[in-house]
Amino acid sequence: MKRAYILVIVAIVVATLLGIAVARHTGYVLIAYEGFRYESSLWATLALLAAVVLVLWLLKLLIGLVLTSTGVVNPWSRRNRSRRTRLAIEQGQLDLAEGRWASAQRHLHRAAEAERQPLLYYLGAARAANELGRTEDSDSLLERALERQPQAELAIALTHAQLQVDRGDTDAALETLQAMHERHPHNVQVLRQLQRLYQQRGDWSALIRLMPELRKDKVLSAKELAELERRAWGRTFPWRPSARTTARPRDSRWSAPGSN
């Protein structure tokens, strides 16, 4: 309240001083240019300039409000495009987590097309399409991801291989992983997926050949590696017990007297 009183008093004082100045020194302004002529007192001219400045400021404010409101209402404005993309990302990720594959594919595909870094959204959409059995759509989404972010070739290929495994096409998955293995021979994820695929296919000879790389790049712990190696060698060269060790022991009831 005290601050308001002070402001009122200051305003009264300024108005009084201004009134006195206007009464004592009216001044005179003359502007003449070719056929144009303007005559008025100094204070009237200053008031006119202040009014023009105020009108221009109000006009600028009004234009800003109109543009802002247009952006809110216009569905094609940048603000609304960003909002739609954010909603598509949130809904698509939720759908993917909860298994609503068709909705997840639609929303994540829309988000991927709108984002500058679309990789994760393309991968999610491809997974959703794969779950629906739309293998062509899934592969097309991965191709689009590679087109938009070619530097992410390895991540896209690893996802592609996993989707191929999920759809039962282990031959295609093996081809994909072997190609990545040639380009990235020490990548842990490539080696891990190759190891799992060889196990799934029962290709123990190939797994044995891969074993030195698994050991060198520390893909598995020492215990896991030893167990896997034992299993692989056992499946490749199964141990067969000899006839001597498998012969049934004689029943003591049928042994000759005195033969213990």
3-state per-residue secondary structure call for 231-243: HHHHHHCCCCCCH
CB-CB contact of 93 with 67 (8 Å)? no
CA distance 70 to 62: 12
Q: What is the CATH number of the domain that holds 95?
A: 1.25.40
Answer yes or no: is 89 within a domain.
yes
**126 and 159 belong to one structural domain:** no
Answer yes or no: is 116 within a domain.
yes
Q: What is the CATH number of the domain that holds 214?
A: 1.25.40.10
Quote the pLDDT of residue 142: 96
Question: Of the candidates 42, 68, 94, which is a domain's last residue?
Answer: 68
**168 and 188 belong to one structural domain:** yes
**161 and 227 belong to one structural domain:** yes
Answer yes or no: is 8 within a domain.
no
Q: Collapsing DSSP states into helix, strand and coil, what is residue 29?
A: strand
Structure tokens at 119: 């990789």
**144 and 156 belong to one structural domain:** no
**125 and 191 belong to one structural domain:** no
Quote the pLDDT of residue 96: 95
Quote the pLDDT of residue 128: 97
Answer yes or no: is 198 within a domain.
yes
Quote the pLDDT of residue 247: 42
CB-CB contact of 130 with 167 (8 Å)? yes
Quote the pLDDT of residue 178: 95
**137 and 181 belong to one structural domain:** no
Residue 211 CA, chain-centre distance (Å), reads 35
Quote the pLDDT of residue 82: 84
**Could you state, in chain order, the average pLDDT of each consecutive group of 10 residues for the chain (260 residues)?**
74 73 67 76 76 89 71 54 89 95 96 93 96 96 96 96 96 96 95 95 91 92 90 74 42 40
**105 and 164 belong to one structural domain:** no
Q: Using CA atoms in the order 44, 45, 46, 49, what is the torsion angle rounded to 10 degrees?
A: 120
**94 and 140 belong to one structural domain:** yes
Answer yes or no: is 136 within a domain.
yes
**101 and 166 belong to one structural domain:** no
Q: Collapsing DSSP states into helix, strand and coil, what is residue 113?
A: helix
Q: In terms of residue numbers, what domain contains 92?
A: 78-148
Quote the pLDDT of residue 34: 76
**143 and 157 belong to one structural domain:** no
Beta strands in the chain (DSSP E): 29-33, 36-40
| 125-131, Cβ contacts within 8 angstroms, sequence gap of 24 or more | 125/92, 126/159, 126/160, 126/163, 127/96, 127/159, 127/163, 128/95, 128/96, 128/101, 128/102, 128/104, 129/101, 129/105, 130/163, 130/166, 130/167, 131/99, 131/101
Question: Of the candidates 115, 148, 181, which is a domain's last residue?
Answer: 148
Question: Of the candidates 148, 168, 187, which is a domain's last residue?
Answer: 148
The count of structural domains within the chain is 3
Q: What is the pTM of this model?
A: 0.62
Answer yes or no: is 255 within a domain.
no
**42 and 89 belong to one structural domain:** no
**142 and 160 belong to one structural domain:** no
